Amino acid sequence: MPECLFPRVGSLPSGPLDAITDVGEVRVGHCTLDAGAIQTGVTAILPNADPLLRKPLAACRVFNGFGKSVGLMQVAELGCLETPLALTNTFSVGEIATAQIRQAVAAHPEVGREWPTVNPLVLECNDGYLNDIQALAGRGEHYLAACAA
């Protein structure tokens, strides 16, 4: 077996691209915001075409407890995803969670009425050292663009 150039967890072989997108239906999209002091974006990791209807198994591990997040507790409790996993800057977490809820309701008008609610899942990447974080630049349309990319 050739020497691995990157750290590895586990002993199973990797896929052809050595990437998360080698796994089943997983897709990754990103929307970059690059305008003067705004240097941020939104990344969406989509586990399948409709995670609310086909809830993929999931787990989480908090190792420093410092990051801002929405949805981790329910993932820990129920062991599944109901939306894509979104990554964005610290002050945009709430906006992107709202976009995930709106996306779920648009796809399934029964959410929160005839059906249970949806668990958005958004994690922060603190980019305050390179981005005007107070601009709250990450918006719902950026999340949708990342999902479509």
pLDDT at 8: 72
pLDDT at 128: 87
115: left (phi over 0), alpha (psi -120 to 50) or beta: beta
Residue 147: is its pLDDT beyond 60? yes
Distance of alpha carbon 111 from alpha carbon 92, whole angstroms: 23
Q: 119 lies in a domain?
A: yes
Residues 23-47 have a mean pLDDT of: 95
Burial class (CB in 10 A: 0-12, 13-18, 19+), 23: exposed
Q: Tell me: the pLDDT tens digits for 6-28?
A: 677 778 888 888 888 888 899 99
Q: 27 lies in a domain?
A: no
Q: 30 lies in a domain?
A: no
Q: How many domains does the chain have?
A: 1
Q: 15 lies in a domain?
A: no
Residue 1: is its pLDDT beyond 70? no
CB burial readout 53-77, b (16+ within 10 A) else e: eebeebeeeeeeeeebebbbebbee
Residues 40-52 have a mean pLDDT of: 97
Q: 16 lies in a domain?
A: no
Residue 70: is its pLDDT beyond 60? yes
Task: Answer with the residue of higher pLDDT: 4 or 133.
Answer: 133
Other CB atoms within a 10 A radius of the CB of residue 111 amount to 17
The reply to whether the predicted model has a pTM over 0.85 is: yes
| Residue that is written with structure tokens 């399934």 in the block | 108
69: left (phi over 0), alpha (psi -120 to 50) or beta: beta
Residue 52: is its pLDDT beyond 90? yes
Q: 54 lies in a domain?
A: yes
Give the CA distances from residue 90 to residues 21, 64, 119, 130, in Å, rounded to whole numbers and listed in that order: 25, 16, 19, 13
Q: 19 lies in a domain?
A: no
pLDDT at 3: 61
Q: Tell me: the pLDDT tens digits for 82-100?
A: 999 999 999 999 999 999 9
Distance of alpha carbon 83 from alpha carbon 133, whole angstroms: 25
pLDDT at 15: 87
Q: 31 lies in a domain?
A: no
pLDDT at 139: 97
Q: H or E element: which one contains 70?
A: strand 69-70
- Domain hosting residue 61, numbered range: 41-148
